[in-house]
Structure 1
Amino acid sequence: MSEENSTVPVEWGPMRSFGRIKSRKLKPLQATLFDTLLPEIEATGARVDAALASGRELWLEIGFGGGEHLAAQAAKNPDVTFIGCEPFLNGVGSALRHIEDGGLKNVLILPGDARPLLDNLPEAVLNRIFILFADPWPKARHNKRRFIQPETIAAFARALKPGGTVRFATDWADYADWALERFLASPDFDWPALSQSDWNTPPADHITTRYETKGLGDCEPVFFDFVRK
């Protein structure tokens, strides 16, 4: 990545894995942070290049919702650079508030689709990817909009370092089955789980968010950690 606009979305085909971009008017503080903080931490090509050149670990969260998990992980891991991607502007506003409140200096924000960013990253540069409680698109006719698809799994494999991980969490049973089937079909990932507790118990470093506690799905949360071969 070498240009300031290298994260501008490119054509990925007809799949749109997210719904609304905005649902309500931004709170005054959030609106202010869009003008003051976001320009300083937006994941432009130049800033991503600098993160890559720093030699620090690089973790990516796709669809960070309100940014609680993203900000808490960044606070717990100050030597890691985080990139968070979220197309929902109200979620971006919430994340900016968490980043401002925490005085965090190791987070970059992309207010948009993560897939063009994945395409523009060099090979084998990410250490971890998080996809937590993504929109399940539960109606069968909408399953094609789910973020977990063979092409996105291939993009994860290209961008991850060997031994890097993807953590996928959901509270929808059908989406859990869908994701597991597609990751197991990939030649690029292992799933090292040995017992039911490996996916039914939140990982030790997991940070519970308000969305997760609402229990809006049809099953208890499931956590899959897939490892890049």
Structure 2
Amino acid sequence: MIRFNRAIKPFSVMSFDLDDTLYSNHPIIKAAVKAQQNYLNALLGYQEQGPKYWQLCRELAVIQNPDLADDVTKWRKHTLRLALSKLGFTADDVERHANAAYNAFADARSNIVVSDDVLNLLDNLAKHFTLVAITNGNVEIERFNLHDKFELVLQAGMHGKAKPHSTLFDKAATHLNVAKSEILHIGDSLDTDVQGANNAGCQSVWLNDQGANYAYKGLADIEIANIHALTHFIK
């Protein structure tokens, strides 16, 4: 299925969200969170704080530093340090255990294998368009098989404010020396991907396959139900 809500202008760049757009991220995140939790639960006093302790520390971290909301890696690392500090660990032990817990998370977080059919789709699209990735997530793309598929990878926090803010789209246009209207952004979230692209003056494709509820009521330029509908644009 492909539905055009607005006429598409010529574009030269296809920008992709990563998580839940090019692969299913739900089992990956679940495994990464479990790996981190297993490490923390083995530490003296952590498990006794109860199942809500992590979330309470996470909320406290972003209250103390609202800018963390734009960088999920820093937010997680800050939360780990905060949670361990509150348990009375020494500064050295806080750093050691926070780094080890984050590494457990990151190792599982990047345990991704993108399917061959999606890789082939990207290869075919790359013959006609410049491909970039714009993500709010903290996946380490160099650790799995998307590492050589994009001319540019921009991540929230590291490179600017999270979508739907326009910063990452602005940086992509500047780096590639193209007008933002020449960027067609594809993503699964109305709230971040579609709203962000629309606000930035890019064109947008909503991959509507998550069954989620979104706050944003604007329309994507194009709606698809399967990523392979993008073959429509291969000349």
- Structure 1 length-normalised TM: 0.31
Decide which structure has greater strand share. 1
Decide which structure has greater helix share. 2
Larger radius of gyration: 2
- Structure 2 length-normalised TM: 0.31
Between 1 and 2, higher relative CO (CA 8 Å, sep ≥ 6) is seen in: 2
